[in-house]
Amino acid sequence: MLNNIMLGQYFPGDSVLHRLDARVKLVLLLLMLIEVFVFTSGPAYGFITVVTGLLIFLSGVPVRLVLRSLKPLWWIVIFTFVIHLFSHPGQELARVWHFAITQEGVVQGTLISLRLLLLILLSTLLTFTTSPLQLTDALESLLAPGKCVGMPAHELAMMMTIALRFIPTLISETDKIMKAQQSRGADFTTGNILKRLKNMVPILVPLFLSAFRRADELALAMEARCYRGGQGRTRMKELRIRRVDYWAMAAFVVFSMVMGVSLYI
């Protein structure tokens, strides 16, 4: 029942985007998102759209999968578009009851919807090409300067790593317990909400017990191997800035320059 859940949406591959350093990807993505907000002209958006398409192609992730990640957000995009359609004063194109659809409305609606779509697409591209563990490593590394002001960067990253590590375990555990209780005639799919909640008890009690047991064992195992926080800890897989990362940064600078020029068209 739960086998078909994908953790995050990491799509394993060996594309340029996959090979980029996670920190570089994260920072460049943030900057790109900011640019999406700053440069709001039509040509600029056309350019970003083309670049986004190019990035999707480069990532090697099937377009079908990328578009599927938009699914839960479609209605927000459509809602935004419709609201903008009616809410800008200007040259009237058509009239629905009391409300006028204006030319400015159509333009603004399209741009804003496009902005939303671009934001989502670019961010999903990051999660498609970066494994959750790389992401937490990148976060730890980027947050490291915060340690001076008492930010527990290592601890935060460790907590995220452990949580991520245990999601699949707990999913398979849940799956197993559900199946065991189903074999004893438990029913999780019929009845009203109250009844369904009550039916969850035979799953939740064993699940919590096992989560606590695992947490306990993990703490013990970590202590047994002398874990005592991030001080002086080295890593097996160092994040390293390589040539491909410099190229990506260069490409980003060119991209930003084109965006800047677009302001004057």
- Which spans of this chain sit near other proteins (rule: CB under 8 A)? 3-4, 6, 11-12, 173, 176-177, 179-187, 201-202, 205-206, 209-210
Minimum CB separation from other proteins for residue 249, in Å?
A: 29
Q: How far is the CB of 188 from other proteins (least distance, A)?
A: 12
Closest to other proteins by CB, 80 vs 182, is 182
State the nearest-atom distance from the C-beta of 192 to other proteins, in Å: 17
Residue 141 CB neighbour total at 10 angstroms: 18
Q: Smallest gap, in angstroms, from Cβ of residue 14 to other proteins? A: 12
Q: Of 117, 93, 118, 122, whose CA–CA distance to 105 is shortest?
A: 93
Amino acid making up residue 110: T
The string of DSSP letters for 50-90 reads HHHHHHHHHHT--HHHHHHTTGGGHHHHHHHHHHHHHH--S
**Closest distance to other proteins from the beta carbon of 177 (Å):** 6
Closer of 5 and 219 to other proteins (Cβ):
5
Instruction: Give the three-state DSSP class for 96.
Output: strand
Our measurement of the distance from residue 242's CA atom to the centroid of its chain's CA atoms, rounded to an integer in Å, reads 24
CB of 184 to other proteins, least distance (A): 4
45 vs 128, which CB is nearer to other proteins?
128
Q: Based on CB atoms, which residue is closest to other proteins, 194 or 236?
A: 194
Residue number, 99 or 208, with CB nearest to other proteins: 208
User: Interior CA angle at 50 toward 53 and 10, to 5°?
Assistant: 25
CB 90 within 8 A of CB 105: yes
Q: Which residues contact 111 (CB under 8 A, 6 or more apart)?
A: 40, 42, 45
In the complex, the smallest distance separating the C-beta of residue 186 from other proteins, rounded to whole angstroms, is: 6
User: Which is closer to other proteins, CB of 147 or CB of 195?
Assistant: 195
* Other C-beta atoms lying within 10 Å of the C-beta of residue 129: 25
Q: Which residues pair with 94 in a beta bridge?
A: 101
Tokens of 205: 């009690």
Identity of the residue, 143 or 186, whose beta carbon is nearer to other proteins in the bound complex? 186
